[in-house]
Amino acid sequence: MTESKLNPDNLTPPRYRGSLLSAFHNAIRGILIAFKNERNLQVQMVIATVVIFAGIVFELNITEWAIISISISFVIVTEMLNTAIENTLNRISLEEHPLTRNAKDVAAGAVLISCIAAVVIGCQIFIPKILGN
C-alpha cells in the first residue's frame, strides 16, 4: 500500500488491523521475542529476580515495592523500546549512516539512564536495610 492511500485518521494499513484480542496476542509475542533475542533483557531479568528476592528477604513496605516495581518496569520498557528502534532502523537500512548511529546511541543512552536510576534507587532502599538502619 502506498502512503497516499493511507487514511490519515488511521495510519495502520488495513491488512494489519485486528481485534483487541489479536492486539493483545501481538503484544505478548513482542514481549516473548524481545526476551528471547535480547541478551541485555535476559541479564536485566536475572537482576530483577535477585532484587525481588532481596525485597522479600528485607520485607519491603508497600511504597518501597511500588518504587522497585516502577524502576524494574522502567528499565525493561526502555530496553524494549531500544530494541524496537534498532529493529526499525535495521529494517530501513543496514548501511552505515551517522543519523542511524545517533538514533541508536540516543536509544542506548535512554537505557543507560534508566539503569543508573534503578541502581541509585536500589541503593537508597537496600543499603540502609543491609546496614541495619
Closest CA to 77 of 34, 46, 43, 36: 34
- Chain centre to alpha carbon of residue 16: 24
Catalytic residue, candidates 3, 59, 64, 79: 79
- Chain centre to alpha carbon of residue 90: 18
Q: Is 11 exposed, middle or buried (0-12, 13-18, 19+ CB in 10 A)?
A: exposed
C-alpha cell at 26: 501481538
Q: Is 79 a catalytic residue?
A: yes
Give least dist CB 101 to ligand ATP, A: 3
Cβ proximity to ligand ATP, 60 vs 107, nearer residue: 107
Q: Is 129 in the site for ligand ATP (CB under 6 A)?
A: no
Q: Is 82 in the site for ligand ATP (CB under 6 A)?
A: yes
Contact positions with ligand ATP (CB under 6 A) in 27-46: 40
Q: Is 133 exposed, middle or buried (0-12, 13-18, 19+ CB in 10 A)?
A: exposed
Q: Which residues contact 110 (CB under 8 A, 6 or more apart)?
A: 78, 81, 82
Residue 64 labelled as part of a binding site: no
Q: Of the candidates 17, 25, 29, 97, which one interacts with ligand ATP according to CB under 6 A?
A: 97
Give least dist CB 100 to ligand ATP, A: 4
Binding-site ranges for ligand ATP (CB under 6 A): 40, 82, 86, 96-97, 100-101, 104-105, 108
The set of catalytic residues is 79
Q: Which residues are annotated as a binding site?
A: 17, 38, 79, 86, 95-97, 104-105
